[in-house]
Amino acid sequence: MVLPLEMGWRQLLFENWPVEPAVMDAHLPEGLDPDEYDGSAWLSIVPFANVAVRPKGVPESLGIRLPELNVRTYVTRDGVPSVYFFSLDAQGIASVLGARVFHHLPYYYARISLAWEDGRVKFSSRRRHPGSRPAHYEATYWPTGEPFSAPEDPFGTFLVERYRFYTEAQDGSIRYTDVDHDPWTLYPAAAEIETNTLWSAHGFDRPDADPVYYYSPGLDVVASRSNRL
């Protein structure tokens, strides 16, 4: 039996594009519906650092650091707003294999670097997973305005105040995990995206609209066991 996990999510960029709901629906497994804001579904790329990742109850000092890059969208099932992950790229072969085998998550091994330099985050990821489509992402991002509590902002609430995520396992089953954390603090943000081939890696056309950026310094999270839908 796999234990729940504790971890910290740090130095996150939420990079968000509006997408036609019908386009998103075609990419989702049966049983999950696109969640909409202002008449659009939303597709997001989220680079960040996972820190102190460990089984629940294990001291934080024994956790591992795991830079990560997610491609995700927003869904509902039975009226519950949730997140659906298309992919999770991460540094660390053992961690990726463990997440795939024990938590049924679509992780891909990648070479990732994340550094804080002069008030900006420099992030680079290049997928190296055997047999996968190539995916390369490089960006520099930083906060630009005053912080605000996501639950006090309708769009912020839509994007980040979600406490369940879904994935499709390698056997085609749909899995879900519940997460518990404090409300998010977000900042308006800017970003310079040098390279992004994630769209073609997941069968999406590049969105026409400009993205909306938010930054968060992060928070601590407890994630439940993976459950079969």
Task: Map out the domains of the chain as residue ranges.
Answer: 5-228
- What does the pLDDT look like over 113-125, one tens digit per residue? 999 999 999 999 9
Where residue 2 falls among pLDDT bands split at 50, 70, 90? low
Tell me the HSE value of 76 on the side-chain side, using a 13 A CA sphere: 11
- For 60, the 3-state DSSP assignment is helix
Residue 99 has pLDDT above 60, yes or no: no
Where residue 201 falls among pLDDT bands split at 50, 70, 90? confident
Overall CATH class of domain 5-228 = mainly beta
- What does the pLDDT look like over 84-95, one tens digit per residue? 999 989 886 555
- What does the pLDDT look like over 14-25, one tens digit per residue? 999 999 999 999
- Spell out where the chain has E strands: 5-19, 33-34, 41-55, 64-77, 80-90, 107-117, 120-127, 136-143, 148-149, 164-168, 174-180, 185-196, 212-223, 227-228
Residue 98 has pLDDT above 80, yes or no: no
Residue 1: the pLDDT is 47
